[in-house]
Amino acid sequence: MDDDIPYLLLTPGPLTTTRTVRQSMLKDWCTWDAEYNNLTNDIRRRLVTIATTEPGYTSVLMQGSGTFSVEATLGSVIPPDGKALLVDNGAYGARIVKIANRLGINNVVCKFPETQQADPEVIDKLLAADPAITHLAMVHCETTTGGLNPVDATGQLTRKHGTIFILDAMSSFAGMPIDVAAMGADYLISSANKCMQGVPGFGFVIARQSHLESTQGWARSLCLDLFDQWQEMESKGGKWRYTSPTHVVRAFLQAMSELESEGGVSARHKRYCENRDTLVSGMRSLGIQTLLNDELLSPFITTFLCPSDPAFSFDTFYQALKRRRFVIYPGKVTAADTFRVGTIGNAFPDDFRQLIGAVKESLDKLGIHIPHNTLNSPH
């Protein structure tokens, strides 16, 4: 880790960025002229290139955190008489349900346990049984657990049933190879501060243009009107409606160049996988087990079961690690006591080897005893 940072953020975003990304924010640039608007269009074009090789896709940038873009999409691309099937197997799926209910969008919820993937067979039956369903929304990597949902199978089902597919790929986009067209998603949502390794301030939506074009006037919000924002960017050469996060945009451009120089998404995916493997095998060597089985683990964030020793407290463990310059993340699943460690951002396998040393030191210092067992051990 760089020696000028207070600690390494092992969270699912905002995450640790490079010094060069942070340095790009040290100037105040103008936002009203063609130079800036061209940068916006450059970002939009390059995002589409990362998302697919197929023609027919466009992108829209939206101010705010990632959830703003999820709300903008749900609120803008489902017509007033539409009905959505919402897949929920974690906190972010549940947030989609909350947004739909708040916006008064007619919906049915398809719920699965947090520790399981969504089941395409169940989704297929629900879509077949209810022809009123026009849209389906699902999370790709459920950041609650770090588990991945079966997007390709779901995409095939939405095609079969003629359903519009909205995918929250917040924590997976740019961290694993994805082709939005091949997977059959009509809308894919992510944000600046996850695997793109920018800083927080805006989200973006990759959209199948022919559908987005049909959504004029549907938005349930002025600021979060995806169509209007897209129209403004398209017709005014890259202009945002309302003030844009200038510094964040500059940092994002730098982050995009750094993704390219790293070798693109596949190289980044490989690094994240190595980070995760180093983390998981190191934790297991200390007797700390993952919540999910290996085949469900994503390279973005991993949930670990808290040691069963009654002396263990997440807060003191967290503080002990923070003093050693590692910031981890609390658990979010309801069924078990857990904590999470992110493996995305400007972090490398060596950082995770050091983290394991810090975890061992912290547990020893706090007097936490972990009985070793063979359950849940690496294959």
Ligand X SMILES: *Cc1c(COP(=O)(O)O)cnc(C)c1O
- Residues near ligand X, by CB under 6 A: 12-13, 65-67, 70, 92, 139, 143, 168, 170-171, 191
Pull the structure tokens for residue 365.
């210092």
Nearer to ligand X, 134 or 171 (CB): 171
Q: Cβ 191 to ligand X, closest distance in Å?
A: 5
Q: Which is nearer to ligand X, 139 or 253 (CB)?
A: 139
Is the Cβ of residue 271 or residue 340 nearer to ligand X in the bound state? 340
What are the counts of helices (DSSP H) followed by strands (DSSP E) for the chain? Answer: 13, 14
Structure tokens at 86: 């919402």
Beta carbon of residue 170, minimum distance to ligand X (angstroms, whole number): 3
DSSP 61: E
Q: DSSP H helical segments within the chain, as ranges? A: 19-23, 34-51, 66-77, 91-103, 120-129, 151-161, 180-183, 209-212, 226-235, 246-262, 264-285, 314-323, 349-366
Q: Is 321 exposed, middle or buried (0-12, 13-18, 19+ CB in 10 A)?
A: buried
Task: Tell the smallest beta-carbon distance from residue 12 to ligand X (Å).
Answer: 5
Q: Which is nearer to ligand X, 145 or 290 (CB)?
A: 145
Q: Rounded to the nearest whole angstrom, what is the least distance from the CB of residue 103 to ligand X in the complex?
A: 16
Q: Which residues contact 1 (CB under 8 A, 6 or more apart)?
A: 7, 8, 16, 325, 347, 351, 354
User: Can you tell me the distance from the alpha carbon of 209 to that of 213, in angstroms, rounded to the nearest whole number?
Assistant: 6
**Cβ closest to ligand X, residue 170 vs residue 333:** 170
**66 or 307: CB nearest ligand X:** 66
Nearer to ligand X among residue 67 and residue 163 (C-beta):
67
d(CA 145, CA 117): 11
Query: Which of 250, 266, 221, 255 minimizes the C-alpha distance to 78?
Result: 221
| Alpha carbons 116 and 137: distance in angstroms, whole number | 17
CB-closest chain residue to ligand X: 66
257 secondary structure, DSSP code: H
Report the nearest approach of ligand X to the CB of residue 337 (Å). Answer: 21
Q: How far is the CB of 70 from ligand X (least distance, A)?
A: 6
Q: How far is the CB of 68 from ligand X (least distance, A)?
A: 7
Residue 185, phi then psi, degrees to nearest 5: -85, 135
